[in-house]
Amino acid sequence: MEIQTFPNDDIVFFDLETTVPNKPGQHFHILEFGAIVVCPRKLEELESFTTLIQPKDLSVVSLRSSRSDGITRAKVTDAPSFEDVAEKIYGFLNGRIWAGHNIRRFDCVRIKEAFAEIGQAAPEPSGIIDSLGLLSVKFGKRAGNMKMASLAAYFGLGVQKHRSLDDVRMNLEVLKHCATVLFLESTLPNQLEGKWQSSSKIMTRSRSNYQTAQRATPYTKGSLGKMTENVKNLFSKAQGSQALQSLIKHSHSLLR
């Protein structure tokens, strides 16, 4: 299960951009860290932090990027090392609820590795919300492979930039949209559940190319965007004393 109940109600969405090992024995190297702290009562961004990070060996970073705003060797040449920003990252993460897409298997592991490499204790979460596992089970495969790019395209939220701060903000918007759809379905199950009849061509981006795929979409283009503000009100009415429940307990009841 990807949802837990936590004593600390601070939620930090974070994301890492890293190198991709292409030879046996190579490791991941963090190139960028980005995070936002979200108010669980109103789903508002309270603070943010992002930084590029220079790996010890610059040769592991590509000279060019296939993405227009991708991270290249030139961009991290003058960036701080992980050790230089470790204290800031630790303060942003430690003791908070960690949220993100596929963070259990990737981002959490990379953070622990990076702190171990500099001989410092890694930050610890008070709990974890992994939207990949959660939405795969509860929202289903409506968005295909359930990658962030596919989910964003499904809801018309734009193209994933693969930059840390942009991606965590997109992650939060995806969760809002998914929760809204599930809320509406639970309110009018006979009218809405299973009625995903219309379809549209949505452009999704892989690491190497662009692909056009047929995706089933429940509403006309742009209609879900109007719900973004409304979903804040839906969450803020959730019952319970803990502030976190304003973000997840209400949606948790829908997702069971």
Residues with catalytic function = 162
Residue 218: which of 193, 201, 251, 235 has the closest Cα? Answer: 193
Element (H, E) at 211: strand 210-216
Distance (Å, whole) CA 151 – CA 142: 9
Distance (Å, whole) CA 220 – CA 161: 24
Residue 18: helix, strand or coil by DSSP?
strand
Strand order in the sheet with 30-39: 44-52, 30-39, 11-18, 97-100, 127-130
What contacts 206, CB < 8 A, 6 or more positions away?
149
Q: Where do the H-state alpha helices sit in 14-130? A: 73-76, 82-93, 108-117
Cβ(34)–Cβ(14) below 8 Å: yes
Distance (Å, whole) CA 118 – CA 126: 23
